Amino acid sequence: MAEKTFKEQAYEALHNVIDPELGINLVDLGLIYDAKLTDEGEAQILMTLTIVGCPLTEWLADSIQEELKKVPGVKTISIEVTFDPAWTENMMSREARVELGIY
C-alpha cells in the first residue's frame, strides 16, 4: 500500500476537529479547502468558515493546530481563512448532510 500524502494525513487528522455547534468534523462540513506541507515543515491549511465573523474561529484554529502537530513532518502550522468560494451546504459530505437532515 502506498504511503499517504500529506494532504491525506492532514484531512485524516482534521476529521478529529468537530464543530461544537453542528457536531460534525471540519472535513465533512467542507470547510477545509486544501492542505500542503512545505519543504521546511510548514503545514499550510486553506479553509473557510460557515459564516463571516464566526465566534469559534480561534477555538477551531487551536483545535486544528493540536491535531496537525501529530502529523509526521509538521513543524509549524499556518491557517489561511478565505471566503472565496463562499461556503454552501453543497460542500458538505453526503453523510454530513444526512446527519443534519439536509437532502
The grid coordinates of residue 78 equal: 499556518
Q: Write out the DSSP string of 6-53.
A: HHHHHHHHHTT-B-TTT-SBHHHHT-EEEEEE-TT-EEEEEE--SSTT
What pLDDT shows up at residue 54?
85
What pLDDT shows up at residue 2?
72
Assign 47 a pLDDT band (cuts: 50, 70, 90): very high
For the chain, the straight-line distance linking the first and the last C-alpha, in angstroms and rounded, comes to 35
Number of H helices, E strands in the chain: 4, 3
Report the greatest alpha carbon distance in the chain.
42
Whole-angstrom Cα distance, residue 13 to residue 67?
A: 6
Spatial neighbors of 39 by CB under 8 A, at least 6 apart, are: none
Proportion of the chain above pLDDT 70, given as a percent = 99
Strand ordering across the sheet containing 32-37: 32-37, 42-47, 76-81
> Domain-by-domain residue ranges, the chain?
6-100
| CATH classification for the domain delimited by 6-100, as one of 3.40.190.10, 3.30.300.130, 3.10.450.50, 3.20.20.70 | 3.30.300.130
